[in-house]
Amino acid sequence: MSLRNISLGLVIGLTVCSLANAQFNAASDSASKTSGGFVQDVRSHPREPSRDNAFSMTINTYGIAATLQTLASQVGASILAKGGNAVDAAIASNAAVGVIEPMMNGIGGDLFAIVWEPKAKKFYALNASGWSPQAETIEAMKAKGVTKMSARSIYSVTVPGAVAGWEALHKRFGKLPLSVDLAPAIALAREGFPVTETDSANWKQYGLPYKDRADFASVFLPNGSYPAVGQIFKNPDIANSLHLIGEKGADALYRGPIADAIVKVSDENNGFMTKADLADYKPEWVEPVSTTYHGWRVYETPPNTQGIAALSMLNVMELYPLREWGHDSARTLHIELEAKALAYSDMLHYVGDPRVEDIPTKKLISKELAKQRAQGITDKANCNVLPSDRKEQLDKLQTDTTYLATVDRDGMVVSLIQSNAGNFGSGLVPEHAGFVLQNRGSGFYMQPGQPNSLAGHKRPLHTIIPAMMQKDGKTIAFGIMSGFNQAQAHAQFVANVVDFDMNIQAAMDAARFNKGNSGCGVNIEDGYPKEVFEQLAAQGHQIDVVPRYSQVMGRGNATMHDDALGVNFGASDPRADGQAVPELPPY
């Protein structure tokens, strides 16, 4: 089969490597001639084995906060040092990342979390995803002449769930006052912070399209443009909003002046949002869903999220000897890609809001269904996978997010994810509030009769998912963001830890793929042998080789507590600007 679909980047990369090897060999020969054979002598000695991770895990007997921004990780570590627990650190870090990366997340978006409480030895899952306005239905939209959901319109705006999520987490588990948890983020917003490399690029790409919106530009485009790398960015409006939330709790957003500003934006844009839509909203404590994978138990949040797709993937992958084949194997990647296609076809068809729709979650994550589905896997790529008992294939996409993980000295572990949906969400900014409203409602289907069809006070299918895995006293919180990349990235992370014996940093660093929701197209990082790409192409996979550590693969973090050692571990994705920062002991 032709390799036309393999990116030119692969060819260029191989050429550069060849030139580099030639230059290295020439230099070595020259050195040998001038050093009496010293280079040859050095080469004759065994080399130290190389490691798989870009840098070391963070290891600490006290707590660790791992986020996509080092400043935000430092915020979490400082809250731990003040006597806060992993939940306090997660709230504080999330608030800080919302200030630092406003294109990805903030108090205008939604939140999901899983908490491991070591004293109760129990997992708790929180669904803090918001619903659509009560009056926003397919029929009401058609009456306004709207038949297609625009990601930039007021109709894509659902009630923000993040702040209600903070309050629910804090009331159940928090140790410090909420105002203390939010104080570092407030300081960063008021005093300003230097913009990092990744964020400056994202600001340019995703912020400039909103430059003609005065409400957006006045907050997020200082002097009419995006902040350059190292430029100090301040947001006094978000500082004021966070201060109100710290003093008054969630009521400040759902019933107070921030709620008034949200409704005003809706009214000005002919939307449906009312004060009652905001005031009536409550997050929901739910049971996490799980499956086993070679002795580990892996936990995800249930529908309305895509978490079941990660579990379904793992159930299929478990049927094959991936450990024997290895990470850098075309056979391993082929099975993972086919498992992804099978799992996503069911998830995209069935998942909606379980308060409104009957979703066969137990069946979809069953080992029995995985065995049935795996029977259809051959040595060729299946480019048109259908749901397990339906005829249609659905394909929708939403994108950007932040994921963070925390662990404290007592072994409490938090996996938290929070998002605006798309970059800078809807682009709509409530007056003097300092944040964008999410556009998560753009994921609704405008055709009736589907689990994810638009209806009043309904939560859409959510891409954002936190995860955990546990075995023999080791509890790992992990997550990797970027739309529908997440479930497939979770399954790859689990396989890296379980099948390929990687530590959590190596598992986060390892080259991975991001396959679309239909067809045979797949992005694969340039971190596999050339022969792997050739074999996959021969099997029918349409490969686009992307640069190593590409943001196309999403960005993640992980923390782990080991009961036997009494030690915590942290990892942060080299594809981002973050770090796993340890809490310092008292001194």
Please give the positions annotated as active site: 401
DSSP assignment of 227-263, as one string? PPTT-EE--HHHHHHHHHHHHHTTHHHHTSHHHHHHH
3-state class of 47 per DSSP? coil
DSSP 445: B
Please state, in angstroms and rounded to a whole number, the distance separating the CA atoms of residues 196 and 382.
41
**Could you tell me which residues come within 8 angstroms of residue 317 by beta carbon, excluding any fewer than 6 positions away?**
293, 335, 336, 339, 491, 495
Residue at token pair 């397990």: 388
Residue 42: both structure tokens together: 């050095």
Please state, in angstroms and rounded to a whole number, the distance separating the CA atoms of residues 395 and 402.
23
Question: In b/e form, how buried is each residue of 476-508, taking b as 16+ CB within 10 angstroms?
Answer: bbbbbbbbbbbbbbbbbbbbbbbbbebbbbbbb
Cα-Cα-Cα-Cα dihedral sign, residues 116, 120, 121, 124 = negative
Q: Are 62 and 585 in contact (CB under 8 A)?
A: yes
Q: How far is CA 390 from CA 107, 124, 345, 393, in A?
A: 38, 33, 10, 8
Query: What phi, psi does 334 have (nearest 5°)?
Result: -60, -45
3-state class of 286 per DSSP? strand
Q: Are 168 and 208 in contact (CB under 8 A)?
A: no
3-state class of 415 per DSSP? strand
Q: Are 403 and 466 in contact (CB under 8 A)?
A: yes
For residue 569, give the nearest of 213, 88, 58 by alpha carbon. Answer: 58
∠93-129-168 over CA atoms, to 5°?
A: 60
DSSP 461: P
For residue 358, give the nearest of 304, 296, 431, 398 by alpha carbon. Answer: 304
Please state, in angstroms and rounded to a whole number, the distance separating the CA atoms of residues 20 and 363.
53
Query: What phi, psi does 290 have (nearest 5°)?
Result: -150, 165
Please state, in angstroms and rounded to a whole number, the distance separating the CA atoms of residues 523 and 380.
18
In the beta sheet, which residues pair with residue 454? none
- Which amino acid is residue 115, in one-letter code? V
Other beta carbons within 10 angstroms of residue 74's beta carbon come to: 17
CA atoms within 13 A on the CB side of 276: 6
Please state, in angstroms and rounded to a whole number, the distance separating the CA atoms of residues 169 and 91.
8
Other beta carbons within 10 angstroms of residue 53's beta carbon come to: 17
